[in-house]
Each structure stands twice: as C-alpha cells, then as structure tokens.
Amino acid sequence: MAIPSENLLSRKTAGSGPGKILVTGGKGGLAASISRELAGCGEVILTDVSPAVGDESLAYQQADLTDFSRVIQLMQGIDTVVHLAVVSGKDYPTGSS
C-alpha cells in the first residue's frame, strides 16, 4: 500500500489526533495493512464478527455490527472509526422485492 508523503493521520494540531481508533472488518486483509500504519498514530482496536484467532498484536473486540446495543458499547471512548466491514454471503437481504 502506497502511503502519501504527507500523512494526514500523523498531522497534529493543539491536542488533537485520531486518539482511540476503531477499525471495523478487522480480520480482513485491508484492515491488516492499514492497522499497522494506524498503530503509529493512536491506540488501535480491531473489531470483526469472527472470534480472534491466535496471538493478536493489536486489541481485538468481537462484535456483530448489526447488533446496535453492541455497537453502542463498542463505541465508548472511540475517537475515530475506520469502517472496512462488509456483509458477505448470498443470504443478505437486499431490500428489493
């Protein structure tokens, strides 16, 4: 992944910054690449619907993002969200009749 020479995430202004960063879809390949970069900017918490497997180098919270009360719980103290989660599978309702 090419990183621009001027990384907007590392730019700081008086007391600001990404703070606690929640990355949804945390088990995906894109999240794995991005999370390593984000870890240098703030505290990263990965989340995904599947359970953690093996030794996690970053904090991990299992969560189904279709469970609103779980999402509210997960968002406590989060400053920045990088939303990479997708719904996969042929049984997902499309909303069309």
Residue 40 has pLDDT above 70, yes or no: yes
State pLDDT tens for residues 77-92: 999 999 999 887 656 5
- Return the percentage of the chain with pLDDT > 90, whole number: 47
Q: Which CATH superfamily is domain 17-83 in?
A: NAD(P)-binding Rossmann-like Domain (3.40.50.720)
Residue 14 has pLDDT above 80, yes or no: no
The residues spanned by each domain of the chain are 17-83
Give the per-residue pLDDT at 81. 95
Note whether 23 and 31 are within 8 A (CB): yes
Does residue 93 or residue 60 have the better pLDDT? 60
- Containing H/E element for 75? helix 68-75
Q: Are strands 80-83 and 20-24 parallel, antiparallel or unpaired?
A: parallel
Structural tokens at position 89: 């599978």
Give the per-residue pLDDT at 53. 79
Sheet-wide strand order for 20-24: 59-62, 43-48, 20-24, 80-83
**In the 3-class helix/strand/coil scheme, how is 42-64 assigned residue by residue?**
CEEEEEECCCCCCCCCCEEEECC
